[in-house]
Structures are given as structure tokens and as C-alpha cells.
Amino acid sequence: MALKINNLTKIYKNGRGIKEVSFQVNEGDIYGLLGPNGSGKTTTMKIITGLIPAYQGEVEIFGKSIEKYGERSLEEVGCLIEAPAVYDYLSARKNLEIAAEYYSKVKAPQIKHILEQTGLIKYQYDKVKEFSLGMKQRLGLALALLSNPKLVILDEPANGLDIEGMVDIREIIVREAKANGTTFLISSHLAHELEIICSKVAIMKEGQLFKTATMEEVINESGTLEKYFLKTVESGRRDLYEND
């Protein structure tokens, strides 16, 4: 089991957040969190990576509880959550070299490989402040993949990308999953993007996880992930209304 989430709850002062979110991600899965902005996807990912605490609930990464093991539970995790944390006044390559200092196993050839893989090799010596939003997303993905992690957590990785960029990122994710058995947890508000690459999906809205399913189950039941999402949310709202 790559990732196990149980009963995660985090409510902010404005009433938003997540409530009793639970799901499991098997090793090798490309697992999608689908929901509109404000549905709780980013909050869930921040709790998983230890960026914010939950009010209640448990997170296990490859069998290690983040509450018990702390940073040690994140040793095999790479992530891109919201905007990538980069030095704008440095080049893309220099940002990767600085990040590589935290990982003894990352050498110069790996940096070159990641730059090529993410389409940044031509711009490796350009300063990040000159990058478009899409280029910064590519650099964020490069940083997430740099240490060759077993689990990669990506929050809206297609954000700011044009069609070609979205295809490139999609191909990188699928290639990493197939070639290295890398597990991915990806959030998006774009049903079509997740439908193409994910093996499993969780439907989220208004801080709640309504349902999880394999992509095969989604297609068999509704034809598309978009239709499945709308059907699931409507059914979930009806159940909540009837239980009130």
C-alpha cells in the first residue's frame, strides 16, 4: 500500500476544508482526485505531505504513519502543491542543483535527464523569473521527480499549460508509472485529463469525498468521467438531504 488516508478532517475558520476523507492508493496506481476549486483537494494533499496538520485522521505512506515517523515517512515522496517553491533569480538548472544537495543519490546526469524529460533542457540556463506559468509548472514537476521518488503528489499539474504542455506532462506521468512503477496522486478540476491517465479516481466536492472507483468502473457505468462526476455529486447531495 503506497498511501492510506483514514478519516481526515480539517475545517478552517471560514467553514471550508475537508471532513472525514478516506481512501487508499496502491503501489503503481495513478490515482486522481477530481473536484472543483474549493473541494478540498489541496487541503488533503497538504495534510498528506505534512504542510498542515489535520484536526483528526491518519495518514500512512508505505506503512509509515506521518504522525509517528514525521519526515521519515516522506523520504520516498516527491510533490508539487500549488505554486512550485523556486528561486526566481536563479536558472532552472541551478534550482535543481540546489534541490539535489538534499539527496545524496542525485548526481549531475540525473539533473540533465530530468531537464530533458520535462522539456526544460533548452531553457536550463534561463532565469526562472523569465518563465511563463506553464514553464514554472514544468520546473515544479522536475523538482518533484528529481529524487526518483516512489510516490509523487501533484496538485493541478496541468495548471497554466497549453494543449501541447498538458500532453507532455501526461506522457511523463504515464511513462514514469510504467517504467519505474512510480505511484502518482494527482488532483485536477479537469475530468478529461484524469480520465486519460488515471487508473482510479476519487470524487470530491465541498470538502467531502463522495465516491472512489476504478476508471474501468467509471467508463462502464457512465461512459465518461465527467458524466460520472455529475451523477455521483447529484446522488451524494440527494443522500445528504434525505439524511438531514
Instruction: Kindly state the DSSP code that residue 53 receives in the 8-state scheme.
Output: -
The least confident of 93-97, 102-106, 164-168, 182-186 is: 102-106
Beta strands in the chain (DSSP E): 3-11, 17-25, 30-34, 56-61, 64-65, 77-80, 151-155, 183-188, 200-205, 208-214
Over the stretch 14-40, which tens digit does the pLDDT of each residue have?
889 999 999 999 999 999 999 998 999
Q: What is the pLDDT of residue 168?
A: 85
Q: Residue 241 pLDDT more than 60?
A: no
The residue type of 239 is D
Confidence (pLDDT) at 166: 87
- The gap between the terminal CA atoms of the chain, to the nearest Å, is 35
pLDDT value at 85 more than 90? no
Report yes or no: 87 and 131 within 8 Å, Cβ to Cβ.
no
Interaxial angle between packed helices 163-180 and 133-145, expressed in degrees from 0 to 180 and rounded to the nearest 10: 10
CA distance 27 to 37: 27
- Mean pLDDT check: name the lowest of 4-18, 41-55, 230-244: 230-244
Q: How sure is the predictor about 217, in pLDDT bands with cuts at 50, 70 and 90? A: very high
H/E element, 66: helix 66-69
- Any idea which of 95-109, 131-145, 147-161, 212-226 has the lowest mean pLDDT? 95-109
What pLDDT, on a 0 to 100 scale, did the predictor assign at position 159? 79
Backbone angles phi, psi at 132, to 5 degrees: -75, 170
- Say yes or no to pLDDT of 189 above 50: yes
Where does the pLDDT of residue 160 fall: very low under 50, low under 70, confident under 90, or very high at 90 and above?
A: confident
pLDDT in tens, 198-212: 999 999 999 999 999
Q: What is the mean pLDDT of residues 83-93?
A: 91
Average pLDDT, whole number, for the chain?
90
Give this prediction's pTM.
0.92
